[in-house]
Amino acid sequence: MYDAIYTSNVLEHIENDREAISQLKTKLKKNGILVIYVPAFMILFSDLDSAVGHYRGYHKKELMEKVINSGFKIRKCHFVDSVGFIAWLYIKFRGYDRKEKSGGGKSMMIYDKVVYPISKIFDLVGFRYLFGKNIMLVASNDYE
């Protein structure tokens, strides 16, 4: 049994994510914490997602319902990387092409070093409650 479980970009690879969330609950100690980090919004779902085995992108309400229905209490849930939402839309509609540098290694390095730090500032001032490329959810399995 664990005090906490953290999943980062895992649930979107599991076809029956509801069952996976329920199974995670059985692995947590009383008052255990579950942290989930997943891609947001099906509008951002692209050929690249299919290629790497993603089944879905999540909406906050959908993810929260799945977690609550598995017996957890939501502690917080918000978007991450608000600027990334816009960047990923661009890549989706332009197309992911490593050769053309759209989503390739060099552009991702620039994104990580320059754009993502800016996105973190936007998230801190409130954009994380509006939209983002990912969702961060924290829940607990409090027992009455």
Concatenating the DSSP letter of every residue in 86-115 gives HHHHHHHHH--BTTTTBSSHHHHHHIIIII
Q: Look at strands 134-140 and 73-80 and give their pairing.
A: antiparallel
- Extract the runs of DSSP E, i.e. beta strands, from the chain: 2-8, 28-39, 73-80, 134-140
- Please tell me the pTM assigned to this model: 0.88
Which pLDDT tens digit goes with each residue over 94-112?
A: 766 555 555 566 777 888 8
- pLDDT band with cut points at 50, 70 and 90 for residue 47: confident
Distance CA(3)–CA(125), nearest Å, equals 31
Q: Which residue has the tokens 């692209």?
A: 46
Give the tens place of pLDDT for each residue, 55-82: 999 999 999 999 999 999 999 999 999 9
